Amino acid sequence: MMSLSKGRYRLGFAESAAEIREAQALRWLCFPARDGGAGAEPLDRDDYDDRCRHVLIRETAGGLLVGCFRMLTLSGGGQIGDSYSAGHYDLSRLNGFHGRMAEIGRFCIRPGWHDPDILRLAWGALARHVDDQRIEMLFGCSSFAGTDTSGYEDAFAMLRERHLAPRRWLPRVKAPQVFRFARALRLRKPDPRRAMAAMPPLLRSYLAMGGWVSDHAVVDRQLDTLHVFTALEIGAIPPERAKLLRAAGG
């Protein structure tokens, strides 16, 4: 059982159906586009919820759930087709990855909460999971709010210029609607300040540790997001950064 605390917050695994429903309710707030219709329960849920461990971050004083994400652990690239991400990307090139992997999904922070300790605590939990389960790659979908690419040009241009996946792992297109930013923005020189301001916080963290992304974004109208496949090879994390993460998860 995982239990961590930092500042005003504590983190642990969901241990009951009621706690998972709390996470699903928070996810609904953060990913609001749905086809549930009148009377639909305000929960974001899918079949992967039964296969994942759910991590909850609460404010210690009142117990309010302020952040959550889920983790699916795979024995290696041969199981990549069983991941949520594989429903949106052709990940067949990763079949050859031999180390253990963990898919991080549905990461969200309650609207209006911007305390960086929430993200630091989440990374502390990920560092502990990596060590406990001997994970060699973290991966998932990093989401930009909305499905309009306008305003994200510098962010996507920076991803194209600095952070594309190695060719041997590069995901191919699978989703019916995508934004091929590596092709569309090949001549754009990104403004670093605007680019970083538009990046989702979790993606910024992945990139700072050497993470890489797909060359296209999926237009996901169900979740009202644009998302890019994102992966981080644990062996590529700079030693000083890895030391700080392990300290946060200690």
Which CATH number belongs to the domain containing residue 158 in this structure? Answer: 3.40.630
Any domain includes 223 = yes
- Please list the ranges in the chain whose pLDDT falls under 50: 35-38
Who contacts 152 (Cβ-Cβ below 8 Å, separation ≥6)? 144, 198, 226
Predicted confidence at residue 33, as pLDDT, reads: 57
Whole-angstrom Cα distance, residue 145 to residue 66? 18
Residue 176 lies in a domain: yes
- On whether the CB atoms of residues 21 and 54 are closer than 8 A, the answer is no
- 158 assigned to some structural domain: yes
Structural domain count, the chain: 1
Strands 135-145 and 100-109 come out as parallel
pLDDT computed for residue 38 by the predictor = 46
Domain annotation covers residue 87 = yes
Residue 35 in any domain: the answer is no
In a domain, 169, yes or no: yes
Question: Considering the entire predicted model, what is its pTM?
Answer: 0.93
- 235 vs 71, 99, 129, 136, CA distance in Å? 20, 11, 15, 7
Residue 131 lies in a domain: yes
**pLDDT tens-digit map of 105-146:** 999 999 999 999 999 999 999 999 999 999 999 999 999 999
In-domain check, residue 7: no
Burial tier of 170 (Cβ tally within 10 Å: 0-12, 13-18, 19+): buried
Domain span holding position 83? 67-248
pLDDT at 180: 98
What are 140-172's pLDDT values in tens digits? 999 999 999 999 999 999 999 999 999 999 999
Minimal CA–CA distance to 201: which of 103, 87, 146, 123?
123
